Structure 1
Amino acid sequence: MKKLISLIMAASFACFAFSAAARADNAATELFQKYLANGRIGEADEQLLALAAKATNNADAQLGLGLVRTARAFEKLAQSLFKHGFGSKSDGYELYLGLGASQIARNGNPEPITYEQFRGILATFIADLDSADKALAAVGDKPAKLKVDLSVARFDWNGDGKVGPEDHIGRAISDTNENGDPLPFIVGFDTADAKWLQGYDNLLMAVAKAWLSHDFSESWNSSFSVVFPRAVSTMSAVNGRGADEYTMFGVNKAQADDIADFITLIHTIRWPVADTAMWSDVRIHLKKVIALNRETWALIDKETDDDHEWLPGPKQKSGVLPSFNVTQERIQAWLAVLSQFEAALDGKILIPHWRFDKGINLAKVFDDPKPFDFILWLTGPAAVPYLEDGPAMSSGEWNQITAIFEGNFASYAFYFN
C-alpha cells in the first residue's frame, strides 16, 4: 500500500517532464527534466500553462498541467504541515488526520499554528486541487499520451528548495542496481489516466471539504497538540510541564500527553456543520468521482495499445503494477460497488447499521445535517433521525462482491479510485 501511495504521488510529479516534449526542441526537454530532478514543479506549472495556451488542442500539455498541479497541491500541503511540525511528540500517531504524515519529514523547530491557520491550509489544498481538476477536465476525450520515468521524481517536502536524499520519491517505487541507484520505472499515461486522476482530485476535495464544512474548534483546543506540537490552543496554554519531568508506568510526559490527547480527540468529535453549502459539495464531489470512474473504464475498454499501462484493462498485459490482476470480473464488481454507493448517496438504497433493523438514508444526512458525533454514530443515537424502512445492501451482497478481489478489496479500491 505504501508503494502504491508513493507511485500515485510520483506519477503526478514525473509526467510534466515529458508532456508535449515531442513537440518541443531538445533544450525544452532538458529544461523540463531539470525541473523534475530539482523538484521545481512550480516553474513547471508556468511552462506547461504557456505551452497549453499556445495550442488549445494540445491534450498532452493539458494532461501534464493537470498532473503537475495535482503534485503541486500535495507539495504545498506537505510544506505547510512541515512548517508547523505536523506529527506527534511520540511516534506512532501520525495518521490521525488521514493526510499521510508518515511520508513527511519531522521538523524539530516548528512554527506555532492556530485553528484558523489550519483551516486556511485545508482551503488552499482544496483550491489547488480544483485548479488541477479543471486542467485535467480540459483533456476531455482527446487522445493524450505521456511516457515517463517515475524513478527520477523529486518532492520538496520541507520547502527548503534543496534536493536531498529524502526528496527523491522515485527511490521509493523503483528497484535498484548493484550501486543502489534506482532503475527506470516507465509508465505510459493516457486519456483514461487523466480521468482517473481527476477522480482522485475530487475524492480528496470531498474529504477536505467534509473537514472544513464542520466546526472542529473544540477538538483543536483540547487535543490537536498531539499532531501539531505548537498548536495555539486552550490546552497548550496551560499544559506547561516539561516532557522529561516524570515517567509513570514506563510512559514519559510526552507519551502520556499524546495518549490523553488521543482519548480527548475521540471524545470531542462532535462537530457542528458550519457551512451547509460546502457540506453539500461533498456529495457533489463524490458523485463526480463515480461518474469519472465510469468514464475511465469506458476509455480503457476502447484502448488498443499495451504500453506500460498505469491502469490496464483485462486485455492489456503491460501494467506497471503486476501485483494487481485487473480482470473484467473485477472491473464489473468495482462498478457495481460504485452503483450501490451512488444509489446510497441519492437515498435510493439505505446504509445498514449494526444496531437497527432499519437503514440510514444517506441523502438526508447531507440534506439535513446534524452535528457529527463520532461515538454516537458508532453506538447508534446519531443515526436515529435518518432511519427508514426500505431496501439496504446486505452483508451477503457485499461479501459476494468483495470476494472477487480475493481478500484484497481495500488495495484495489485505492488503486481503482
Structure 2
Amino acid sequence: MALTFSASVAAAQDIDLTPLVSSVGLTDTIVALENDPPGPGRDFALGGMLFLRGIEKSLQLRYRHNADFGKLGLPVLRLPLPANPDAAPFYPALVTDLFHDLGTDMQGARAVLTGAEGDFGVTLDLTRVWFDINENGARDAGEGLMSAAGSAFGRAAPQSDLNSLVVRFDTADAAWLTAYTHLLEAFTNVFLAFDPTEVIAEVGHSIDAMSDLRGAEPNTRQSYLRGFESWIDTFAMFYGALNRQPDPLHTRALRENLLAMVAQNRRFWDLLALETDNDREWIPGAGQVSAMGIELPKDAGPLWMKVLDDAEGVLEGRLLAPHWRVEPAAGVNVARLLQDPIPVDIVTWVHGHGLLPYMEKGPLVDDGNLRLFEQMFRGDALLFMVWLN
C-alpha cells in the first residue's frame, strides 16, 4: 500500500483517517501524514497519531517484559496487557524509561498540534484504531483502542464490542488534545521526580535474598499471604521512592504542565461555545450530541471550569491546601512545595511538622465545586473527569 496521503485529501474538506490507520497501524499512518503538506487538519491528525503512538510504545515496552501494572489503577499503567509467553526479564529502570519516553512523545505531539489552527475536520472510527502491542504488524485480539478505553474509563465508557464509533474532530478538539498531552506529561514528571529505579532494584534484591533464606521449606501461611505479599512489595517500592529527595526540575515541570492543561481546557470550552454544527462530536457543547452516546448536563462545562479554577488557584499559590492542624485560618502552599520539594514522609506530613515550612495563613481551596461535579455525574464522575481532563 502506498503511504502517501496527499492525493486522497488534497481537495477534501475533511480528512478520513479510518482506512489508513485501520489497515497499516499507527506507525505507518504517521509516516504517511509526515509526507503530507502541513495544514490544520493534517496537523491535528498527525498530532493525534503521535499521541496514540506514545501510548502504544508504553504498551509495547510493558509487553516485552510482562510488566502488568493494571492493579495499580494509574493512568497509562492501568491499560490492559495480554500475557507474553516469551517475555524478556523485568529490569528496575523500566518504569523510568517508560515515563521518560512517554513525556518526550507528548511533547512531540504537542509541537505538531500548534499548527491545528483554523477550521478543519478529521473523522476517525475509534473501533478501527489499534495498538500493535506484540509488535507483529497485525491487529490481534485485545489490541483495539476500545478494549483499552473500556478498561481505562470504566463501566460508562463505550463498549469494546461496538461495530462503529465515528467521531468528527474539529478545531476545539485540538485544544482538548493539547490539554491532554500536558496532563499525561505532568503525570510522567511525578515518576521522573521520584525516580523509582534504585528503590525497585533494592526491593527486588531483598525479595530474592529472603526467598533464599526461606529455601525450599514450605510456608504454611503462604496461601493467604500471597495477596498481602504482592501489596506490601508494591507499597515498599512506592514509599521508598517518595521518601527520597525529588528532582525539583520535574516537580516544577509538573506544575507548569498542569497550569498549561487548565489554560488549554479553558480554550477548548471557549471554542466549543462558538460551534454551530452538530456533527459526530467528541465532547458536545450546548445543542450538540456526542458520537459516543454520552450526554453532558448543560451546566457540566461551567462547573468543570470552576473545578479547574480551584486547581489553578492551588497551583499558583493563591489558594492553600487544607491541613487539619491549621485549618481554617491557614493551609499548605502547594505552589511553594512544588517549587522547592522535599521527600514525601507520610508520618510527618500527616502530623504536620514535616509540612510546617510550607504552611501559611490565607484562603483555603474549597471542595464544594468538586462535590457538585461528583453529584452531577454520580457514580460516573471519574469517567467524566478523565474525558474532560
Q: Is the counterpart of residue 325 in structure 1 residue 296 in structure 2?
A: yes
Q: SS of the residue aligned with 1:359?
A: strand
Q: Which residue of 1 aligns with 2:257?
A: 285
Give how far 1:392 is off: 0.7
Give how far 1:38 is off: 4.2
Q: Is the counterpart of residue 348 in structure 1 residue 318 in structure 2?
A: yes
1:307 aligned to 273, 279, 282, which one?
279
Where structure 1 has 5 or more consecutive residues not aligned to the other structure, the ranges are: 1-15, 224-232
Q: Is the counterpart of residue 129 in structure 1 residue 101 in structure 2?
A: no
**8 Å CA contact 1:174, 1:184 repeated in 2:** no
Q: Which residue of 1 aligns with 2:55?
A: 74
Q: SS of the residue aligned with 2:307?
A: helix
Shift of the 353–409 alpha-carbon distance from structure 1 to 2, 3 Å rule, reads farther
Post-superposition CA distance 1:209-256 (Å, at most 9, x none): 121022434531344xxxxxxxxx423542546999745346277545
1:63 aligned to 44, 47, 65, which one?
44
Q: Is the counterpart of residue 110 in structure 1 residue 87 in structure 2?
A: yes
Give how far 1:48 is off: 0.4
Post-superposition CA distance 1:24-45 (Å, at most 9, x none): 79xx97xx65642345211111
Q: Which residue of 1 aligns with 2:185?
A: 205
Amino acid corresponding to residue 272 of structure 1 in structure 2: R
2:116 aligned to 135, 139, 142, which one?
139
1:21 and 1:380 map into 2 onto residues whose CA distance is 62
Give how far 1:183 is off: 2.1
**8 Å CA contact 2:246, 2:343 repeated in 1:** no
Q: Which residue of 2 aligns with 1:100?
A: 77
1:45 and 1:322 map into 2 onto residues whose CA distance is 29
2:308 and 2:368 map into 1 onto residues whose CA distance is 17
Give how far 1:199 is off: 0.7
Q: SS of the residue aligned with 2:142?
A: helix
**8 Å CA contact 1:122, 1:212 repeated in 2:** yes
1:388 aligned to 360, 380, 383, which one?
360
Q: SS of the residue aligned with 2:283?
A: coil
Amino acid corresponding to residue 110 of structure 1 in structure 2: A
Q: Is the counterpart of residue 156 in structure 1 residue 129 in structure 2?
A: no
2:215 and 2:26 map into 1 onto residues whose CA distance is 39
Give how far 1:95 is off: 1.7
Q: Which residue of 2 aligns with 1:3?
A: none
**8 Å CA contact 1:17, 1:35 repeated in 2:** no
Alignment coverage as a number of residue pairs: 374
2:216 and 2:86 map into 1 onto residues whose CA distance is 18
Please identify, of 145-154 and 242-251, the stretch whose mean Cα deviation from structure 2 is larger.
Answer: 242-251
Amino acid corresponding to residue 208 of structure 1 in structure 2: T
2:217 and 2:175 map into 1 onto residues whose CA distance is 54
Post-superposition CA distance 1:365-402 (Å, at most 9, x none): 12221112345434544332211111112345653554
Shift of the 123–259 alpha-carbon distance from structure 1 to 2, 3 Å rule, reads closer
Q: SS of the residue aligned with 2:122?
A: strand
Shift of the 34–289 alpha-carbon distance from structure 1 to 2, 3 Å rule, reads same
Q: SS of the residue aligned with 2:33?
A: helix
Give how far 1:354 is off: 3.5
Q: Is the counterpart of residue 22 in structure 1 residue 9 in structure 2?
A: yes
Shift of the 36–369 alpha-carbon distance from structure 1 to 2, 3 Å rule, reads same
Amino acid corresponding to residue 209 of structure 2 in structure 1: V
Amino acid corresponding to residue 301 of structure 1 in structure 2: A
1:194 and 1:39 map into 2 onto residues whose CA distance is 24
Shift of the 42–347 alpha-carbon distance from structure 1 to 2, 3 Å rule, reads same
Shift of the 38–100 alpha-carbon distance from structure 1 to 2, 3 Å rule, reads farther
Shift of the 234–369 alpha-carbon distance from structure 1 to 2, 3 Å rule, reads same
Give how far 1:206 is off: 0.5
Please identify, of 407-416 and 124-133, the stretch whose mean Cα deviation from structure 2 is larger.
Answer: 407-416
Amino acid corresponding to residue 233 of structure 2 in structure 1: D
Please report the RMSD computed on the Cα atoms of aligned residues, expressed in angstroms.
Answer: 3.2
Q: TM-score, with normalisation over the residues of structure 1?
A: 0.79
Please identify, of 374-383 and 298-307, the stretch whose mean Cα deviation from structure 2 is larger.
Answer: 374-383
Please identify, of 369-378 and 357-366, the stretch whose mean Cα deviation from structure 2 is larger.
Answer: 369-378
Post-superposition CA distance 1:174-217 (Å, at most 9, x none): 679xxxx7422111111111111111111010110121022434
**8 Å CA contact 2:319, 2:333 repeated in 1:** yes
2:322 and 2:345 map into 1 onto residues whose CA distance is 18
Q: Is the counterpart of residue 44 in structure 1 residue 29 in structure 2?
A: yes
1:206 and 1:342 map into 2 onto residues whose CA distance is 14
Q: TM-score, with normalisation over the residues of structure 2?
A: 0.84
Amino acid corresponding to residue 161 of structure 1 in structure 2: G
2:280 and 2:4 map into 1 onto residues whose CA distance is 17
Give how far 1:69 is off: 0.1
Shift of the 97–290 alpha-carbon distance from structure 1 to 2, 3 Å rule, reads closer
Give how far 1:289 is off: 0.2
1:296 aligned to 259, 268, 285, which one?
268
Amino acid corresponding to residue 154 of structure 1 in structure 2: W
**8 Å CA contact 1:69, 1:132 repeated in 2:** yes
2:64 aligned to 83, 103, 109, which one?
83
Q: SS of the residue aligned with 1:147?
A: strand
Q: Which residue of 2 aligns with 1:189?
A: 169
1:399 and 1:311 map into 2 onto residues whose CA distance is 22
1:404 and 1:96 map into 2 onto residues whose CA distance is 23
**8 Å CA contact 1:215, 1:272 repeated in 2:** no
